[in-house]
Every structure is written in C-alpha cells, then in structure tokens.
C-alpha cells in the first residue's frame, strides 16, 4: 500500500547490472507470441486465347523441271500453337500458276493428336484448290497444341507430271489458314 | 509518295534490315501470332487484338473481314456469303494493313456497331490476318489467321439444345460415336466433356466415353464426337446426359447402337 512516505514505501539495495557475461536465465513459461497473423494473398492471371502459325520457308522453289516430269516435293513444315481446348483447323488454297496453271498439290502427316484431312490420308498428294472452290482441309485437332506447337509435316509437290506448257518461270501463291475451332 | 509506295519502301527496308541480335536462333523464318484468338463483344463495343511477328523477317499483314461457319463436325470455315447470323457488316478493324518487323507487336482495334433492328443473341464473323507473299519467289507461301468475333446483341437469351441422334463411324480399329445436336437457341453453345456424358452399357461391361470439345452456333446442327478404343463390341445401350449449365434440367436420351 502506498503510504505517500518514500522512506516507508521503498528500501535501497545494491545495484546488480547484467550483461552478456551474466549467467543465462531460462524463462519459466513460453513467452507470449509476438503479434503474428497470417493472411492469404490472392493471385490471379487471365490467360488469353492464342493462335500462332509459323512456316518453315516463305517460298518454295522446285528448280528446273521438264514437261512430263514430276518434280520432287519440297518440305514446308507448319507449326501451329493454340491453347483452344477445342483445337483448330488448318486449310490451304492457292492462286493459279502464271502464265499457265500447273497441278500443285500437298501431302503431309499430322502431329500427335492431330487428324490429317481426308484427302491427304495415307500420304496422298492432294490437289490444292483455287478459290472460289472451298479450301482443302489439311488437318484438325481437338485439343490444345503442344507447348512448342504442333508440327504439320507437309510437302508441296505436283499431283501429276507437268503438262506441256511454254518454257518460262511459273509462279503461284499458296495460303495456309488456321482458325480456332 | 503514295501510301502504297511508302508501304512498299518501308517493307523493303525492313526486309533488308537484319533481325535483332539473338532473334535468329530459335525464331521461325516466318510467323504470325494473334491473341486473343477469339473476341467476344457485347453489342456495340470495342476490343483489342495483339498481333506479334515471332519470325525472323518482317511481314506485311492485310486485315479483312469474312463470314464464319462451322461444318457438321465443328471445323471452322471461311465463307464468302454472310449467313443470317453474320456480324461481318457490323465490324470495323483498324488498321487495315500494317508492316510488322521481326519480333514486333501491333494492336488491332475491333469495333462493332449494331444496326437498329437486330435479332437478340450471338452473331459472328472472322477477322482475317493475311501476310503478303514474297513476290520474287516461285511458289510463295503465305499465312492467314482467322480471329473469331462473336457479337451478342441485346435481348432475351434463349438456350436450347436438342439431342437428335447417335451413330457409329468406324475407321480401322477406332470407333467414333457421333452425337447429333441441334442448337435451337440464339447463343453459341460450348459442348465439352463436362456438359455431355456418354455411357455405354452392355451385359458384363460398361464404359464412359469422353466428348471432344466443340462449339455449336445458334440455329445449326452439329456432331459431337466420342472416340472409343475400348473392348465393348456388338449392340450396346448408350446413355447420353447433356447439361448446358449448372442448375438447368438435364437432357437424357438412350440409344441402341452397334459398336
């Protein structure tokens, strides 16, 4: 009880300072936790749909050829990347060769999980149509592509021996179209 | 200098300028990427599409619009004549043509403007991104990406899908069950393994077959494919359960098919 008389309320004692050299003293009980709390941090990301196509080469040359011969097909690998769960389809069409048309075709194999178009089944060389004829179905998938993309191992060639046409340089354009399903 | 000439000059310069350091090792010679690959617009509105050139060389990209359809098995098609639910005429895309150097990115703005009188529900179209061919080449090869744009016109949304038939198609050992659905509603329906289930039952065995994902445009019929490589053979009972969305009634049908 405080008597308001310091001489009665307090007694003096020798100072007992402590430092790192002092003997350690173990606490009798666990210290109360230092103010701790846990809080979840919400993390989210919106992954956008993506569709990508890449070509092995921007142009194909069959070199020198003669009437009646069938030039060796040239590889034109397509790499398609898509994260659409329903997959995608690849089609092709072309312009007519100038100055006269030649029977350009395509053959190929599908990547794992892909399905080659019916006209290309069994390694067949299918004619590439000229609009307004509908595009040729190269193939379809029904799932997301591989991380590095699906590789369609296609080859451009001719469906028949070259017809009798005037000598000269013949050019055309092939268009590969990819659309998510 | 005309716009076309200046574009040609810029293109030539870009083709002659080497790609950035380090770009040539893993980059394909020619490439084009679009994201998102599918755009949904609510009525009159705008969206952005990011176009990237992952290739080693510059490309010139022409942007166009076209009609869109899905064939019976859900394969997309570019169609010249717009169908009754086409949004082609409502869309504008800017810019209409651009040069994309190797590794570069460009944003397209897709805008829709609805006409005064329009049927409620989904209407669609394609934005076609086509690279210009190399004119010097014998057979030039170009790439085209179709970005699907779905515009939902305001009004009452009707969701209704009917199960029509189930048939079996054989290709070698593989058998594909084809479920014919009709979308009688006015919005595009996504049909996948979570929404449609197929159970094959035969004395002494049963098998659950997974549906391939596809979309079904409004007012169209379509086939959902189930690829089956199991042991069941002969006549089986096939039970189909279709749920368009949680909380809605389940559509159940039973068929007898020969595997």
Closest chain A CA to residue B141: A174
For B166-192, write each residue's pLDDT tens digit. 999 987 778 999 999 999 999 999 999
* Residue B239 contacts A where some CB pair is shorter than 8 Å: no
SS3 category, B101: coil
Higher pLDDT pick, B14 / A155:
A155
- 3-state SS, residue B4: helix
User: For an interface test with A, which of B131, B141, B178 has the most A Cβ atoms less than 10 Å from its Cβ?
Assistant: B141
- Per-residue pLDDT at A156: 97
Tens of pLDDT along B123-174?
999 999 999 987 666 899 999 999 999 999 999 999 999 999 999 998 777 8
Q: Beta strand B205-209 with B251-258: parallel, antiparallel or unpaired?
A: unpaired
pLDDT (mean) for B1-9: 48
Structure confidence at residue A4 (pLDDT): 67
Burial label, A120 (beta-carbon count in 10 A; 0-12, 13-18, 19+): buried
**Across the strands, what pairs with B257?**
B236
- ipTM metric: 0.85
Q: Which residue of B has its CA nearest to A179?
A: B146
At residue A9, the 3 state secondary structure works out as helix
Are B47 and B110 within 8 A, CB to CB?
yes
Cβ <8 Å between A181 and B136 = no
Q: What is the pLDDT of residues B211-246, one digit of tens each?
A: 999 999 999 999 999 999 888 989 999 999 999 887
Tell me which of A45, A81, A85, A86 to substitute to probe the interface with B (most B C-beta atoms closer than 10 Å): A86
Residues of chain A neighbouring B133 (CB-CB closer than 8 A): 58-59, 173
Write a three-state SS string for A63-86: CCCCCCCCCCCEEEEEEEEECCCC
Full-model pTM: 0.83
Say how many CA atoms lie within 13 Å of A153 toward its Cβ: 5
User: Hey, is the C-beta of B171 within 8 angstroms of any chain A C-beta?
Assistant: no
Residue of A nearest to B34 (CA): A51
Residues of A in contact with B139 (CB under 8 A): 59-62, 104, 156, 171-174
CA separation, residue B222 to residues A89, B85, B170, B191 (Å):
16, 16, 19, 10
């Amino acid at each position: 009880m405080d008597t308001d008389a310091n001489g009665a309320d307090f007694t003096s004692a020798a100072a007992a300072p402590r430092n790192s050299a002092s003997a350690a003293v173990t606490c009798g009980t666990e210290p109360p936790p230092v103010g701790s709390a846990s809080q979840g941090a919400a993390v989210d990301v919106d992954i956008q749909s993506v569709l990508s196509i890449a070509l092995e080469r921007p142009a194909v040359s069959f070199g020198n050829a003669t009437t009646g011969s069938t030039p060796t097909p040239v590889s034109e690998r397509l790499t398609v990347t898509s994260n659409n769960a329903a997959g995608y389809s690849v089609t092709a069409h072309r312009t007519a060769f100038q100055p006269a048309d030649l029977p350009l075709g395509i053959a190929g194999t599908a990547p794992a999980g892909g399905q080659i178009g019916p006209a290309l089944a069994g390694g067949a060389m299918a004619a590439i149509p000229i609009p307004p004829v509908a595009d040729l179905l190269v193939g379809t998938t029904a799932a997301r592509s591989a991380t590095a993309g699906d590789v369609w191992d296609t080859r451009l060639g001719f469906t028949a021996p070259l017809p009798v046409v005037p000598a000269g340089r013949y050019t055309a354009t092939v268009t590969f179209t990819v659309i998510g399903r | 200098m005309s716009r076309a000439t200046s574009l040609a000059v810029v293109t030539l310069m870009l083709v002659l300028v080497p790609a950035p350091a380090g770009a040539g090792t893993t980059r394909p010679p020619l490439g084009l990427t679009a994201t998102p690959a599918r755009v949904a617009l609510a009525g009159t509105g705008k969206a952005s599409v990011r176009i990237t050139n992952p290739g080693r060389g510059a490309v010139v990209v022409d942007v166009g619009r076209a009609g869109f359809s899905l064939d019976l098995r859900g394969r997309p098609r570019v169609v010249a004549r717009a169908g009754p639910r086409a949004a082609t005429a409502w869309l504008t895309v800017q810019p209409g043509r651009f040069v994309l150097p190797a590794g570069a990115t460009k944003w397209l703005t897709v805008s829709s403007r609805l006409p005064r009188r329009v049927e409620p529900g989904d209407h669609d179209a394609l934005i076609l991104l086509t690279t210009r061919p190399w004119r010097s080449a014998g057979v030039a090869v170009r790439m085209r990406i179709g970005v699907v744009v779905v515009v939902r016109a305001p009004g009452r949304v009707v969701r209704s899908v009917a199960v029509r038939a189930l048939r079996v198609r054989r290709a070698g050992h593989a058998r594909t069950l084809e479920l014919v659905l009709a979308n009688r509603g006015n919005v595009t329906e996504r049909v996948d393994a979570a929404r449609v289930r197929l159970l094959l039952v035969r004395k002494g065995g049963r098998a659950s077959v997974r549906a391939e994902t596809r979309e079904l445009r409004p007012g169209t019929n379509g086939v959902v494919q189930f690829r089956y490589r199991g042991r069941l053979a002969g006549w089986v009972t096939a039970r189909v359960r279709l749920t368009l969305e949680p909380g809605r009634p389940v559509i159940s049908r039973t068929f007898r098919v020969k595997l």
